[in-house]
Amino acid sequence: MTDRSIVIRGVQPHSAHDPKENLRTVLPMIARAEADGVDLLVLPETAASRTDDPTQRCVAESLDDGFAHAIARTTHGMNLTVVFGMIERVQGSERRRNTLVAMRDGEMTAFYHKLHLYDAHTSRESKGILPGDAAPEPFTVAGVRIGLQNCYDLRFPETSRVLADRGAEVLVVPTSWVRGANKEDHWNLLLRARAVENTCFVLGVGQTGGNRIGLSAAIGPDGVCRAGLGHEIGEFTCTFDLGLLEQTRAAMPLLRQRRFAIDPVPRQAPTIFE
């Protein structure tokens, strides 16, 4: 049995609209996480700039300046990997990308453009955001394979299954989950379902305050919650023991027993609203 493990810290903020204000909060967190021996620090979707106002847009930046550049500079010389969400400018387009970025030692080690846009209830994310066009690829932190997905992706089980197919052992889900009827129940249910059906660890890290639910949580491959938060602003740290993942996969070999493959090529994003 493996003796591999990974120390992960999730951050549940109420991010501001101004990226510079968010950096004043985040940069000391990075320094503390490195000092504490954390392997992976996870910030939520739109950690760089967030708004609850449907008439206002988040601040969009490139991967080479602003919030992302400051994170890269701060992590230079560190073993710590930092995952965060931002709104990325797209040259030649009025629409932007909802992007997740992983930084380590001053370099971008992974990025992911959100595939499934939140065109549901009264929201229309696709009005201002371009959908991603490629399934995410896992990346490695402390010898552990990490898969990224973003908020609404959690409702589409194929995203998690493609990551598990590609070797992901931990699914990391930064989010800005909006309050609504049964939305908290759905969040808790989906985190556990994605963990159990893929026999993966799942870390869901969200925004809180305003119209966001918080409720960040770390779920084991057995579906048991290992750590988490309520609605408060805060951080939590957990150690994922990959021996538990191996035990679970040996007892419940779901990934080997399934009869259907998942096509990893996304189809064209449908137009839901005219």
- Report whether pLDDT(224) > 60: yes
User: How many domains does the chain contain in total?
Assistant: 1
265 pLDDT tier (thresholds 50, 70, 90): confident
- Report whether pLDDT(188) > 70: yes
CA separation for the pair 175, 177 (Å, rounded): 6
Residue 114 among the catalytic residues: yes
- Report whether pLDDT(273) > 70: no
CA separation for the pair 148, 160 (Å, rounded): 9
pLDDT in tens, 45-89: 999 999 998 789 999 999 999 999 999 999 999 999 999 999 999
The answer to whether 156 and 136 are in contact (CB under 8 A) is no
Which of these, 34, 27, 129, lies nearest to 68 by C-alpha position?
27
Instruction: Evaluate whether residue 272 is within a structural domain.
Output: no
Instruction: Evaluate whether residue 270 is within a structural domain.
Output: no
- As a whole number, mean pLDDT of residues 241-263 equals 95
Residue 183 among the catalytic residues: no
pLDDT in tens, 126-150: 999 999 998 889 999 999 999 999 9
Which CATH number fits the domain that encloses residue 120? 3.60.110.10
- Which pair of tokens denotes residue 220? 């084991």
CA separation for the pair 119, 20 (Å, rounded): 29
Instruction: Evaluate whether residue 98 is within a structural domain.
Output: yes
pLDDT for res 136: 86
Instruction: Evaluate whether residue 162 is within a structural domain.
Output: yes
Instruction: Evaluate whether residue 262 is within a structural domain.
Output: no
Instruction: Evaluate whether residue 34 is within a structural domain.
Output: yes
- Report whether pLDDT(274) > 50: no
pLDDT in tens, 6-25: 999 999 999 999 999 999 99
Among the listed residues 58, 61, 88, 151, the single catalytic one is 151
Length of the chain: 274
Among the listed residues 114, 169, 197, 200, the single catalytic one is 114
Residue type, 203: L
Query: Across-strand partners of 219?
Result: 202, 225
| Enclosing domain of residue 23 | 5-255
